[in-house]
Amino acid sequence: MQERDWIFSKINQQNNWRKSCINLIASENVNSKWVENAYASDFSHRYAEGVPYERYYQGTRYIDEIEDKANKFFAKRFGGKYADTRPISGAVANMAAMRAFAAPGDVIASLSVPAGAHSSHQRGGVAGGILGLNPIKLGFDSKDFRIDPDLSSKIIRHTRPKLAIIGASLIPFPLELDGIVDACRDVNCKLIYDSAHVFGLIFAGKFQDPFKEGAEIITSSTHKTFPGPQGGIIIGNLEDEWREIQRSVFPRILSNHHLHRIPALLVAGYEMAEFGEEYSTQILKNAVALAEKLNELGFDVAGEARGFTKSHQVVVDVNEHGGGWNVAKALDKANIVLNKNLLPWDKISKATLVNPSGIRLGVQEMTRFGMKEDEMEEIANFISRIVIKGDSPDVVGQDVKTFRQGFQKIHYTWDD
């Protein structure tokens, strides 16, 4: 009994605490009631190895229908021919896509972590650490948050990678692919766009269109700007290679694929088809409003020359305030949750990994709770009270809780 009470009390504390926080973690979101209801079902106890209608198990008649529909829905929405909703996370989607096109020892191309790339694209992550690939870095214009097209094309032509995986966890601006598409084609290098952070914005037509710009595969998470259940997806156009991608997902990587995610993902897809444009438009406005106010209050907000941001993210260099780790910790005490981040101008070292120059702020979750530009200004003021003015975290934390009480209802979802 004691153990039971303990665990349920911890779950309640988490539920209540995060409902009273300003959450600015750029990789998180909340599910609507409809998505939550779809998530908790009998499917969470089941297996369905294989692809829809070609399973290694019985009892799959309904997941066959739902998964087939979800695959077709997301393929169509992103302008692809095929989709696979089985990857259980974005990193797993990347693993499966990379495994389909490259073998141990092969060179692949990606951006660096300070430039924003995810650990799964790196030597120490899935690419090198699990698949045994040999990632080389593409050129990146740090000040401007742009791929350096000339340098990157030269690197691709010279090293002839099997694939280039382009995408970022720090992504205030679209990553223009046009500068590297020709080089990739010339050396038969598959171009994968990892859209984890911006999947919802792309879904709504409010960010770049990776297939139109020359990507051949899209990989993603399904729970950042896209408010679905935690999971992953791969979308593709390459008829011959698609079976190879499917074989990578199963049997190479997964056995069960957490079936209950898939109906919930499709529910989130239907909601986004209805509300995604309005939601994403507000995300983009809110991110600019937050960036502008932080800048006005004296913060060193990155990307000023390009209008600060064209995504859900705001990137701030807080070196002069003690670095990303110290700032993130101080804000956490005041119920403002965000994370430290390496910035493109950071050199990787033990010290910068612990305490990098930056913090990364994402507005997608607070936007979903109905916040608009005025609230973004209030959030910037709360941050300034802690980081610049040095107000007491207890006092600011209480003000944050009171402010957040007014924003409890999830928007951009169906009414009851």
Ligand X SMILES: Cc1ncc(COP(=O)(O)O)c(C=O)c1O
> Applying CB under 6 A, which residues contact ligand X?
27, 89-91, 94, 118, 120, 167-169, 194, 196-197, 221, 232
- In whole angstroms, the minimum distance from the beta carbon of 89 to ligand X comes to 3
Query: Which CB, 194 or 365, lies closer to ligand X?
Result: 194
The residue of the chain with the least Cβ separation from ligand X equals 90
- In whole angstroms, the minimum distance from the beta carbon of 254 to ligand X comes to 13
Query: Which CB, 195 or 355, lies closer to ligand X?
Result: 195
Query: Which CB, 89 or 364, lies closer to ligand X?
Result: 89
Query: Which CB, 167 or 172, lies closer to ligand X?
Result: 167
Query: Which CB, 190 or 197, lies closer to ligand X?
Result: 197
- In whole angstroms, the minimum distance from the beta carbon of 198 to ligand X comes to 9
Per residue, the 3-state secondary structure of the chain, as one string, reads CHHHHHHHHHHHHHHHHHHCCEECCCCCCCCCHHHHHHHCCHHHHCCCCEECCEECCCCCHHHHHHHHHHHHHHHHHCCCCEEECCCCCHHHHHHHHHHHHCCCCCEEEECCCCCCCCHHHCCCCHHHHHCCCEEEECCEECCCCEECHHHHHHHHHHHCCCEEEEECCCCCCCCCCHHHHHHHHHCCCEEEEECHHHHHHHHCCCCCCCCCCCCCEEEEECCCCCCCCCCEEEEECCHHHHHHHHHHHHHHHCCCCCCCHHHHHHHHHHHHHHHHHHHHHHHHHHHHHHHHHHHHCCCEECCHHHCCCCCCEEEEECHHHCCHHHHHHHHHHCCEECEEECCCCCCCCHHHHHCCCEEEEECHHHHHCCCCHHHHHHHHHHHHHHHCCCCCHHHHHHHHHHHHHCCCCCCCCCCC
- In whole angstroms, the minimum distance from the beta carbon of 94 to ligand X comes to 6
- In whole angstroms, the minimum distance from the beta carbon of 222 to ligand X comes to 8
Query: Which CB, 90 or 303, lies closer to ligand X?
Result: 90
- In whole angstroms, the minimum distance from the beta carbon of 118 to ligand X comes to 3
Query: Which CB, 225 or 355, lies closer to ligand X?
Result: 225
- In whole angstroms, the minimum distance from the beta carbon of 225 to ligand X comes to 11
